[in-house]
Amino acid sequence: MTIEKVTVVGAGVMGRGIAYVSALAGFQTTIVDVSEEQLQLATKQIGQLANKAIQRKKIDANEAERLLHNVHTSMNLETTVAETDFLIEAVPEKRDLKRHVLETVDGYAPKHIILASNTSTISPTELGSYTKRPQQVAAMHFFNPVHRMGLVEIVKGLETSHETVSIIRAVAERMGKETVEVKEFPGFVTSRISAMVGNEAFYMLQEGIATAEDIDKAIRLGLNYPMGPLELGDLVGLDTRLNNLKYLHETLGEKFRPAPLLEQYVKAGRLGRKTGRGVYDYTNDGELIKK
């Protein structure tokens, strides 16, 4: 099957990164969101990523122009999906919301469409059950920031066909990503580990064991992680991190109970880089300044 038209549903942290790598790979890429503002921000950020890629000599001006030409936006999921070969769902990690999106897509999409979800934790079998074509549904889990991270985790649901997995692998490879295939289990491989480490760091912060800076420094330099767990949480989005933990707590038990301090930050609207403040403050031109 030839994939030409890709739709990314959700223009947030992940959706815009996925749309960037998709357009760069030469797919006609439409981003759909319910918020006009998010679509505008996504278009702006994709332009900035393209400019940075030119400066770093990763692409030339012609490639950047082609890339930007391949990006489209829409607020109408029904009409967009009717013309789509491959859909990547990247709306917030809430079951009801994903269900609503997948049911809508199922009602309007052509027969051959592949439905990939960027879910970090939710069962692709369950996501497939929201449609009448579960054999064409799987998780396609990208990492943040999408343009820099080299992996896509592919998770098959009970009914997902081999053909669907091969198509997802081929699309991921065309986007320049390596893939791993993971058995369905809450949190797959990466989200389970990342949520556990991030949550533990929040408990440490809450217990006053060290400052946020020192927790991050210890993990970076002592354990050789490229980023500390608290700065990573701010990059991922603390609301996203909390949603993942709530799901893992529900499915895998007590060891994933979200740290109360994390819940408090989310209640306060301190969601990380995307709101200008999380564990750290980014309001000063994106620079990391003290908590």
Ligand X SMILES: NC(=O)c1ccc[n+]([C@@H]2O[C@H](COP(=O)([O-])OP(=O)(O)OC[C@H]3O[C@@H](n4cnc5c(N)ncnc54)[C@H](O)[C@@H]3O)[C@@H](O)[C@H]2O)c1
Q: Which residues bind ligand X (CB under 6 A)?
A: 9-15, 32-35, 38, 90-93, 97, 101, 118-120, 141-144, 236-237, 240
Q: How far is the CB of 70 from ligand X (least distance, A)?
A: 20
Nearer to ligand X, 50 or 102 (CB): 102
Contact 27, 84 (CB under 8 A): no
Q: Cα separation of 162 and 273, whole Å?
A: 38
Nearer to ligand X, 41 or 54 (CB): 41
Q: Cα separation of 81 and 113, whole Å?
A: 9
* Residue with the two structure tokens 């064409």: 136
Contact 261, 272 (CB under 8 A): no
- Which residues are 72's β-sheet partners? 30
* Residue with the two structure tokens 């959706």: 15
Nearer to ligand X, 105 or 204 (CB): 105
Q: How far is the CB of 122 from ligand X (least distance, A)?
A: 7
Nearer to ligand X, 116 or 236 (CB): 236
* The pairing of beta strand 28-32 with beta strand 5-9: parallel
- Write the DSSP symbol of residue 73: E
Nearer to ligand X, 15 or 228 (CB): 15
Burial class (CB in 10 A: 0-12, 13-18, 19+), 69: exposed
- Nearest residue to the partner ligand X, using Cβ: 12
Contact 93, 244 (CB under 8 A): yes
Q: How far is the CB of 57 from ligand X (least distance, A)?
A: 27
Q: Which residues of 231-242 are buried (b: 16+ CB within 10 A; e: fewer)?
A: bbbbbbbbbbbb
The phi and psi torsions of 187 (rounded to 5 degrees) equal 85, 0
Q: How far is the CB of 42 from ligand X (least distance, A)?
A: 8
Q: How far is the CB of 161 from ligand X (least distance, A)?
A: 23
Nearer to ligand X, 92 or 176 (CB): 92
Nearer to ligand X, 30 or 64 (CB): 30
Q: How far is the CB of 203 from ligand X (least distance, A)?
A: 20
Q: How far is the CB of 271 from ligand X (least distance, A)?
A: 8
Contact 130, 99 (CB under 8 A): yes
